[in-house]
Amino acid sequence: MLLYDYFRSSAAFRVRIALALKGLEVERRFVHLLRNGGEQKQRDYLAKNPQGLVPALQLDGGVVLTQSLAIIDYLETIRPEPRLIPADPVLAAQARAAALVIACDVHPLGNLRVGAYLEKKLGQSEGDVLVWRRHWMRLGFEALEKLIRPAPFCFGREPTIADVCLAPQVFNAERFGVDLAPFANIRAAAAACADHPAFRAAHPSAQPDAAGS
């Protein structure tokens, strides 16, 4: 399998965590989101992922999967252990809901192309875009704080899909200066993730394409 990856992409970070947790090795090709006008917008990459977003996972037969949560779902099917979706149906729905708060309702609003649109098309200042990003992250975290119950991961002793989405979003929040002090549960789960070898291996700072970027 071949992962189209970018070290600072939080959606790609999710897939890297899932791969590391499941002990799956993949080849990687790096798509720099800022260089050359955004390599994700180049024709070769658009042929892989018409959305022009990372990650994408090319299977050995050539099929390309897109959307981090769909990719993780695929990995869960081909390598069920360790489970990222709890066996208990209620816990499974809760873990998925926490993941979706981040992946559907928080992350897309802070994406690179959204910030670029606000600045370049709607004439907002860089400062306003930062206020925008922080606002949506804070709002999402206020809900997430009440939805998770770290022990020490979001829903128990082992990481689930909720932690796979949470750790990258916390990375983003720190990057954009969101104050995490009010979010004790989120900080506790993020600390458990930060101590876990799979999350450490997947961290942006540990990726080969981070060097010199």
> What residues line the site for ligand GSH (CB under 6 A)?
9-11, 33, 38, 40, 53-55, 67-69, 103, 111-113
Distance in Å, CB of 52 to ligand GSH, minimum? 6
Distance in Å, CB of 18 to ligand GSH, minimum? 12
Report which of 132, 179, 189 is spatially closest to residue 155, judged by C-alpha positions. 189
- In 10 A of CB 195, how many CB atoms? 10
Distance in Å, CB of 64 to ligand GSH, minimum? 12
Distance in Å, CB of 72 to ligand GSH, minimum? 9
Distance CA 30, CA 207 (A): 10
Distance CA 95, CA 86 (A): 8
Distance in Å, CB of 10 to ligand GSH, minimum? 5
Distance CA 145, CA 98 (A): 10
Distance in Å, CB of 103 to ligand GSH, minimum? 6
Angle between helices 161-175 and 184-194 in degrees, nearest 10: 100
CB 32 within 8 A of CB 6: yes
Distance CA 14, CA 2 (A): 15
Closest to ligand GSH by CB, 51 vs 125, is 51
Closest to ligand GSH by CB, 38 vs 152, is 38
Instruction: Please list the residues that pair with 57 across neighbouring strands.
Output: 3, 65
Cis bond before residue 152 (omega within 30° of 0)? yes
CA torsion 203→158→180→109, rounded to 10°?
A: 70
Closest to ligand GSH by CB, 33 vs 189, is 33
Closest to ligand GSH by CB, 112 vs 143, is 112
CB 173 within 8 A of CB 141: yes
Closest to ligand GSH by CB, 67 vs 124, is 67
Closest to ligand GSH by CB, 16 vs 22, is 16
